[in-house]
């Protein structure tokens, strides 16, 4: 179901691109064929799904769309699908791309099966050439797979879908917060550490080439492939050498693919350009037969294959091996001795159809020695002698051979001897059968060996890591009763056997006591869910994210090392700032989760800003993320505009967001001195002292109620702007000169 709100067929986007028809639809967008009417050329228009544009991660997907355009536009190479333009349709972002006439590599793989070395290396070479340009531009593709490698109608490679591409310096899991890509082609370092590298692109190219040559992906299972299992095996196992699947392939080819798919990043070429150079050097050494090599499979009968010539003897052996099965591979397993109601040996020796994937056990050969058949230990010499003697006594002479005439007594004793021997034989056989049935092989089943389990002949062989469905068929065929249970396992794939009881191949399962084999089947790696509210600092999970993740079932939770980046003014101390996984994601319980925990506001030291200008103080406290409350005051020592004091002493510890009160100087306090000339000296003195001045009278006459002086002059003169205090804080002195006046 398309996520585009209305079918755009027939519409013209941005007055330029006329949509013709839908080409394909994926999980992120729908691709249409369109005509660029301005340039009269066919293009492909990729329109984002509506549900993505309206979803909670709208910005993330829009960013991926735009990144695809920017990444592809930065690369000029004929093996890269070009992006021409971007725009918006009905609120949905779209890309205008080069229209490639052809199919993707996956289609070719499905059609051809295994490729010849020549064709596989040609596709590899052109893919590396395109990636070399990307790597030179500093771009990592991150999602190389057959679906993103197009084969145009000229047979040449064009790489598409740079939606996951990132700059090399940014391509880490922590920047994407999700594990993107396709499990079958993802390099170990991306799965395990979230690190995207140019060597990771080479790993994916190597896996793709491995698949082209073998017709299957590495680590694939016969019953379907679990992506988590694939990812686990890519991390913990080396990719098998391609020569295991393609015997006879040139060793240089297999070695080169092994370098591309090396588990350790440092063992791969540093980038696609270096890998391309190495490939060109390799191809110069290959012979025609090397290049014509192609894996031959039985299903290819009648189809000419480009394979190296096979010697006649080898060809005959191969023909015999393919057309005639050996007796042991066609014969079903049968116990040593038939039980009541079971098929006879003749019946069980017929070819038996068990079903696809079922192990056919070889029939045990019947021994000429009855003791071997019954598993009875051989008798000692005296017993053999007695048996031979009895056989001689009871043997009848052959016709025509002379005999000694027996006496009547001997004739009478003969039936007794025969009866005694018969009774002894019956007792012997009955005892042997009783031993076989109650204590010997008839009293138990033997645990069979799973077809996909290898055992060393000299060591015990524990039944584990084997496909349960196949082994179940084997137990059913052998009439062995069993009961199953399920358990999670970090090492055994889902659907495989974790353990059995009895545990070993060849162990006995009692028939007499109706013993059942206990089988524990793996449910795969236990999954756990990241709490959806873990980044909400107000929630219980967000306040203690480490504990929340452990309670959710994750047991590989690490706290990121503290640094300047772990301080926050907004997120309280102890809450989560970031995770390397998405909230709400369902992941294996042993996924390494790194939690960046907030340390709260960062502690800072109050600087000494007294005497600094207001601008200098603002800059110093802003750098420490401190808030400032400004005020002004007069100061007799500190010039106007400079800091007089702060509410916090310098050297004191504060934290981001704390507020500091800062007083800025307005300079010395001044007044405009009034003119007191002609006024009573006593009134002038009182007024000046009230203003804060010190008054000096130049006359030595005493003023009393009967006599007073008037101000003749003053210093400073009236109307002058005068400081109230000196720098040491003492009041300024005003000098008054007076003359007498009688009332």
**Closest alpha carbon to 185 in 230, 134, 131, 121:** 230
**Closest alpha carbon to 517 in 473, 480, 471:** 480
From 56, 80, 98, give the residue that closes a domain.
Answer: 98
Indicate whether 254 pLDDT > 80.
yes
Helix %, strand %, coil % for the chain, to 5?
35, 20, 45
Indicate whether 398 pLDDT > 80.
no
Burial of 446 (0-12, 13-18, 19+ CB in 10 A): middle
Which helix (H) or strand (E) segment holds residue 551: the answer is helix 545-551
User: Residues 147-167: what's their mean pLDDT?
Assistant: 80
What's the domain count of the chain?
A: 6
Q: What is the C-alpha to C-alpha distance for residues 128 and 74, in angstroms, rounded to an integer?
A: 17
234 shares its domain with 246: yes
Bridge partner list, 633: 665
User: Residues 596-618: what's their mean pLDDT?
Assistant: 92
**Res 51: pLDDT:** 60
Instruction: Assign residue 274 the CATH number of its domain.
Output: 1.10.510.10
Tens-place pLDDT, residues 484-534: 999 999 999 999 999 999 999 888 988 877 889 999 999 999 999 999 999
- Confidence label for 610 from pLDDT (cuts 50, 70 and 90): very high
**Closest alpha carbon to 471 in 443, 500, 444:** 500
Bridge partner list, 29: 48
Instruction: Provide the edge-to-edge strand list for the sheet that holds 557-559.
Output: 557-559, 593-597, 576-579
The better pLDDT of the pair 71, 464 is held by 464
Q: 204 in a domain, yes or no?
A: yes
Tens-place pLDDT, residues 652-676: 999 998 999 999 999 888 899 999 8
**Res 240: pLDDT:** 95
**Res 305: pLDDT:** 35
From 297, 330, 363, give the residue that closes a domain.
Answer: 297
Lowest-confidence range among 85-89, 621-625, 690-694?
85-89
Tokens coding 590:
């042993």
Instruction: Assign residue 486 the CATH number of its domain.
Output: 3.30.10.20
210 shares its domain with 195: yes
CB atoms inside a 10 Å sphere around CB 366: 13
Q: 352 in a domain, yes or no?
A: no
Q: Is 560 left (phi over 0), alpha (psi -120 to 50) or beta?
A: beta
From 98, 122, 149, give the residue that closes a domain.
Answer: 98
**Res 432: pLDDT:** 54
Tens-place pLDDT, residues 688-738: 989 889 998 876 555 454 445 788 888 898 889 898 888 888 898 988 887
**Res 397: pLDDT:** 38
Tokens coding 521:
């089947």
Q: 437 in a domain, yes or no?
A: no
222 shares its domain with 168: yes
Q: 531 in a domain, yes or no?
A: yes
User: Residues 607-635: what's their mean pLDDT?
Assistant: 91
User: Residues 260-273: what's their mean pLDDT?
Assistant: 96
Indicate whether 199 pLDDT > 50.
yes
Q: 401 in a domain, yes or no?
A: no
The better pLDDT of the pair 546, 700 is held by 546
Indicate whether 436 pLDDT > 80.
no
First to last CA, the chain: 114
Could you tell me whether strands 653-655 and 603-605 are parallel, antiparallel, or unpaired per DSSP bridges? Answer: antiparallel
**Res 118: pLDDT:** 95
Helix/strand/coil (H/E/C) assignment for every residue in 332-369: CCCCCCCCCCCCCHHHHCCECCCCCCCCCCCCCCCCCC
624 shares its domain with 660: yes
676 shares its domain with 718: yes
**Does residue 635 contact residue 591 with C-beta atoms inside 8 Å?**
no
262 shares its domain with 135: yes
SS3 492: coil
What residues have CB less than 8 Å from 682, skipping those under 6 apart?
A: 703, 708
Residue 202: CA count within 13 A, CB half-sphere: 28
**Does residue 150 contact residue 100 with C-beta atoms inside 8 Å?**
yes
User: Residues 195-219: what's their mean pLDDT?
Assistant: 94
User: Residues 106-134: what's their mean pLDDT?
Assistant: 94
Residue 257: CA count within 13 A, CB half-sphere: 26
Cα 251 to Cα 286, 296, 607: the distances in Å are: 10, 18, 70
SS3 637: coil
567 shares its domain with 708: no
**Closest alpha carbon to 126 in 67, 248, 208:** 208
**Closest alpha carbon to 207 in 295, 127, 274, 110:** 127
**Res 45: pLDDT:** 92
| Angle at 28 (CA atoms; ends 24, 30), nearest 5 degrees | 30
- Confidence label for 329 from pLDDT (cuts 50, 70 and 90): very low
**Res 431: pLDDT:** 54
Lowest-confidence range among 30-44, 485-499, 562-576?
562-576
User: Residues 431-450: what's their mean pLDDT?
Assistant: 66
Indicate whether 177 pLDDT > 50.
no
592 shares its domain with 612: no
538 shares its domain with 629: no
User: Residues 201-209: what's their mean pLDDT?
Assistant: 97
Which helix (H) or strand (E) segment holds residue 446: the answer is strand 444-446
Cα 448 to Cα 337, 355, 518, 522: the distances in Å are: 17, 17, 14, 20
Percentage of the chain lying above the pLDDT 90 cut? 41
Q: What is the C-alpha to C-alpha distance for residues 488 and 234, in angstroms, rounded to an integer?
A: 20
- Confidence label for 558 from pLDDT (cuts 50, 70 and 90): very high
Tens-place pLDDT, residues 363-375: 333 333 333 333 3
Indicate whether 583 pLDDT > 90.
yes
Q: 369 in a domain, yes or no?
A: no
592 shares its domain with 499: no
Query: Which is catalytic among the residues 129, 143, 467, 635?
Result: 143
636 shares its domain with 560: no
pLDDT, mean over the chain: 76
Q: How many helices (H) and strands (E) does the chain have?
A: 23, 31
pTM: 0.42
Secondary structure (DSSP) of 562-610: P-GGG--SSSPTTSEEEESS-TT-EEETT--EEEEE---SPEEE----T
**Does residue 547 contact residue 557 with C-beta atoms inside 8 Å?**
no
Q: What is the DSSP letter of 154?
A: T
Residue 615 annotated in active site:
no
**Res 61: pLDDT:** 65
Indicate whether 103 pLDDT > 50.
yes
684 shares its domain with 708: yes
Among the ranges 5-9, 305-309, 556-560, 724-728, which has the highest mean pLDDT value? 556-560
Q: What is the C-alpha to C-alpha distance for residues 229 and 432, in angstroms, rounded to an integer?
A: 51
**Res 726: pLDDT:** 86
Domain, as residue range, for 43:
12-98
Q: 93 in a domain, yes or no?
A: yes
Q: 253 in a domain, yes or no?
A: yes
Instruction: Assign residue 73 the CATH number of its domain.
Output: 3.30.200.20
- Confidence label for 38 from pLDDT (cuts 50, 70 and 90): very high
**Closest alpha carbon to 611 in 648, 644, 637:** 644
């Amino acid at each position: 179901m398309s996520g585009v709100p209305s079918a755009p067929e027939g519409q013209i986007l941005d007055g330029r691109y006329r949509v013709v028809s839908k080409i394909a639809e994926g999980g992120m967008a729908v691709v249409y064929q369109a005509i660029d009417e301005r340039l009269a050329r066919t293009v492909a228009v990729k329109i984002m799904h509506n549900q993505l544009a309206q979803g909670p991660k709208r910005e993330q997907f829009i960013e991926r769309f735009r990144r695809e355009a920017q990444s592809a536009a930065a690369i000029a190479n004929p093996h890269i699908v070009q992006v021409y333009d971007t725009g918006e349709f009905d609120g949905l972002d779209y890309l205008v791309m080069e229209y490639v006439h052809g199919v993707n590599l996956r289609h070719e793989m499905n059609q051809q099966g295994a490729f010849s070395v020549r064709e596989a290396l040609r596709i590899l070479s052109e893919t590396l050439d395109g990636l070399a340009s990307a790597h030179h531009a500093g771009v990592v593709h991150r999602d190389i797979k057959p679906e993103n490698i197009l084969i145009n109608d000229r047979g040449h490679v064009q790489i598409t879908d740079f939606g996951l591409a990132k700059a090399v310096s940014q391509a880490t899991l922590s920047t994407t917060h999700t594990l993107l890509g396709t499990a079958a082609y993802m390099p170990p370092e991306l799965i395990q550490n979230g690190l995207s590298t140019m060597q990771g692109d080479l790993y994916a190219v190597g896996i793709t080439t491995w698949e082209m040559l073998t017709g299957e992906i590495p680590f694939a299972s016969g019953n379907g492939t679990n992506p988590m299992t694939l990812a686990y095996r890519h991390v913990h196992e080396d990719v098998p050498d391609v020569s295991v699947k393609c015997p006879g392939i040139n060793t240089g080819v297999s070695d080169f693919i092994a370098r591309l798919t090396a588990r350790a990043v440092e063992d791969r070429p540093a980038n696609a350009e270096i890998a391309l150079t190495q490939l060109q050097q390799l191809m110069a050494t290959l012979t025609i037969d090397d290049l014509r090599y192609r894996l031959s499979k039985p299903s290819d009968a009648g189809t000419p294959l480009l394979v190296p010539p096979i010697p006649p003897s080898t060809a005959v052996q191969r023909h015999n091996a393919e057309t005639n099965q050996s007796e042991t591979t066609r014969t079903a397993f049968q116990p040593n001795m038939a039980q009541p109601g079971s098929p006879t040996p003749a019946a069980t020796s017929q070819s038996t159809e068990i079903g696809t994937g079922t192990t056919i056990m070889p029939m045990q050969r019947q021994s000429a020695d009855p003791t071997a058949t019954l598993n009875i230990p051989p008798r000692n010499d005296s017993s053999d002698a007695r048996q031979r003697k009895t056989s001689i006594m009871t043997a009848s002479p052959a016709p025509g051979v002379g005999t000694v005439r027996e006496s009547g007594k001997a004739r009478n004793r003969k039936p007794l001897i025969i009866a005694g021997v018969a009774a002894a034989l019956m007792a012997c056989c009955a005892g042997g059968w009783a031993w076989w049935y109650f204590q010997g092989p008839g009293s138990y089943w033997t645990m069979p060996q799973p077809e996909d389990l290898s055992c060393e002949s000299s060591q015990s062989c524990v039944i584990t890591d084997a496909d349960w469905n196949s082994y179940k068929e084997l137990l059913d065929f052998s009439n062995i009763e069993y009961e199953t249970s399920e358990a999670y396992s970090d090492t055994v794939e889902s659907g495989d056997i974790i353990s059995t009881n009895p545990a070993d191949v060849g162990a006995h399962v009692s028939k007499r006591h109706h013993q059942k084999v206990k089988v524990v089947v793996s449910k795969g790696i236990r999954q756990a869910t990241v709490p959806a509210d873990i980044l909400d600092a107000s929630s219980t999970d967000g306040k203690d994210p480490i504990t929340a993740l452990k309670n959710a079932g994750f047991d590989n939770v690490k706290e990121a090392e503290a640094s300047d980046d772990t301080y926050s003014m907004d997120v309280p101390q102890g809450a989560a700032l970031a995770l390397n996984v998405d909230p709400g994601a369902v992941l294996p319980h042993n996924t390494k989760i790194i939690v960046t925990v907030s340390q709260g506001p960062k502690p800072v030291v109050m600087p000494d800003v007294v005497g600094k200008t207001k601008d200098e103080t603002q800059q110093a406290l802003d750098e420490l993320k401190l808030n400032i409350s400004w005020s002004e005051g007069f100061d007799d020592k500190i010039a106007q505009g400079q800091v007089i004091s702060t509410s916090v002493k310098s050297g004191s510890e504060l934290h981001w967001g704390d507020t500091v009160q800062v007083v800025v100087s307005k300079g010395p306090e001044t007044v405009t001195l009034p003119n007191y000339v002609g006024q009573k000296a006593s009134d002038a003195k009182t007024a000046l002292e009230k203003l804060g001045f010190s008054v000096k009278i130049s006359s030595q006459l005493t003023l009393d109620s009967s006599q007073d002086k008037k101000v003749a002059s003053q210093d400073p003169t009236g109307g002058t702007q005068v400081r109230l205090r000196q720098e040491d804080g003492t009041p300024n002195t005003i000098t008054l000169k007076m003359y007498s006046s009688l009332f």
